[in-house]
Amino acid sequence: MRILLGHTFPDRTDFGSSWIEDWLARLRSAGIEVYPFSLVLDHRRPVIYFNELNFLWRYRDRRLLTMYQTLANTLLEYEVFICFNGANVHPEFVRGLECFTVYGCFDDPESSAKLSKPVAAAFDMAMVGNIAEIDAYRSWGVKNVRWWPLGFRQDDYDSSLTGQGILDGHRDIEVALLCERVTRYRKNRVDQFVRAFPDGAYYGQGWPSGFLPERQRIPLLQRTRIGINIHNSTGPINFRTFYLPANGVMQICDNKSHLGQVFDLGVEAIGYDSIEEAIELTRYYLAHDDERRRIAAAGWKRAISDYNEVACFKKVVDAIKEVKSSINDKECRQETVVVFEENDRFLRRLGIRAILAIWSGLNALVLKMRAVIRKVLSSIFR
């Protein structure tokens, strides 16, 4: 099964398109045929939220339609299209595609109203990063919804670490947290936690220590006993959820009920419902190091086996196969064409190439009319 993964990572040195390309290259080496496609229109604003996207679609923006034409042509060689970041793909365009389509999003619920909710139902299936938001997608009319764990990447951990090393090894940093300290809701809880553990290692935007150099991240984690995980809202939905246990750090994480769907609570990770509870739990496990080590080792074992980058993407592949086999492709394609024509008969009849030609001609006509109007006005007010 050949998969095309559309993404909105621009060309830049940190966390850019090369990050995606390297990730997919590793997946291909593991036997998964998945290739990248850039959905970026403007590198200064790589993500276009729905209101603006809908405007560009309705008024036939040349760059958008050109990108869609390229995407449609490329998809002729693929069975599946995944919109990885959930952005820059209009639902009416998706309904016109004959391949199997997958919507991916990792920004719920903060960006649901302007990103995922207006678009997700147009796809054959949604793979949702936030396990707590599965029911929200169903309420939007998305029939096939599955959880897509972020997992951890190859460069997120030290592969030489062993379970025995976690049980026996020495760790000199009691508590660590690598995240921003700007968002007001999280900042209040973070500050309360830091007051209880002022000697912890804290790095990121808004911290006095600033950002931790990337080369120091894994060594720091491998020296850390407890990793606190604090979300802005629902979750868990961040890389910390997976790279903490992958580095032998015992995780104490909020969104306790949903954390229990990711790890075995009390065995592989510890959950909490309030920051006060998190503080008490941290104190307890710092004082009971043998219990901490056992939980850290169990969490490491689970993360390494179930949440590495290949295992996480295989969950997507398995979900696609399951849903795809249950859909009658012929009926699905016929229904898709009807919906597309009802929404935009003119575009369907003429095709995108014709639209681009007409749009170019209209632009030229408008420029000529402006020149004529200028001449007339200048002669009147001379």
Task: Residue 107: name the closest of 92, 122, 117, 95 by CA.
Answer: 117
Place of tokens 């086996």: 305
pLDDT of residue 15: 73
Say what angle helices 289-306 and 275-287 make with each other, to 10 degrees.
Answer: 110
Tell me: the pLDDT tens digits for 94-118? Answer: 999 999 999 999 999 999 999 999 9
pLDDT of residue 16: 83
How many CB atoms within 10 Å of residue 355?
17
pLDDT of residue 130: 97
pLDDT of residue 360: 52
pTM: 0.84
Q: What percent of the chain has pLDDT over 70?
A: 86
Tell me: the pLDDT tens digits for 5-53? Answer: 999 999 887 778 999 999 999 999 999 999 999 999 999 999 999 999 9
- 201-to-77, 151, 225, 263, 278 alpha-carbon distances in Å: 49, 23, 11, 25, 17
Check if the beta carbon of residue 100 is closer than 8 Å to that of residue 81.
Answer: yes
User: Which pLDDT band, with edges at 50, 70 and 90, does 263 fall under?
Assistant: very high
Task: Residue 82: name the closest of 167, 176, 7 by CA.
Answer: 7
- 72-to-66, 246, 317, 381 alpha-carbon distances in Å: 10, 39, 21, 51
The CATH class of the 154-307 domain is alpha beta
Tell me: the pLDDT tens digits for 171-217? Answer: 999 999 999 999 877 899 999 999 999 999 999 999 999 999 999 99
Check if the beta carbon of residue 114 is closer than 8 Å to that of residue 37.
Answer: no
Distance (Å, whole) CA 249 – CA 226? 5
Say which amino acid occupies 31. G
Output the DSSP codes for 201-259: EEESTTSTT-PPPHHHHHHHHTTEEEEEE--SSS---STHHHHHHHTTPEEEES-HHHH
Distance (Å, whole) CA 347 – CA 343? 9
Greater confidence (360 vs 127) lies with 127
According to DSSP, the residues that pair with 177 across neighbouring strands are 202
Q: Which tokens hold the place of 355?
A: 């639209």
pLDDT of residue 204: 95
pLDDT of residue 318: 98
Polymer length in residues for the chain: 382
Tell me: the pLDDT tens digits for 331-345? Answer: 444 343 333 333 444
The CATH topology of domain 3-151+311-343 is Rossmann fold (3.40.50)
According to DSSP, the residues that pair with 152 across neighbouring strands are 308
Q: Spell out the domain ranges in the chain.
A: 3-151+311-343, 154-307, 351-382
Distance (Å, whole) CA 93 – CA 343? 10
Please tell me if the domain spanning 3-151+311-343 has the same topology as the one spanning 154-307. Answer: yes
According to DSSP, the residues that pair with 126 across neighbouring strands are 103, 145
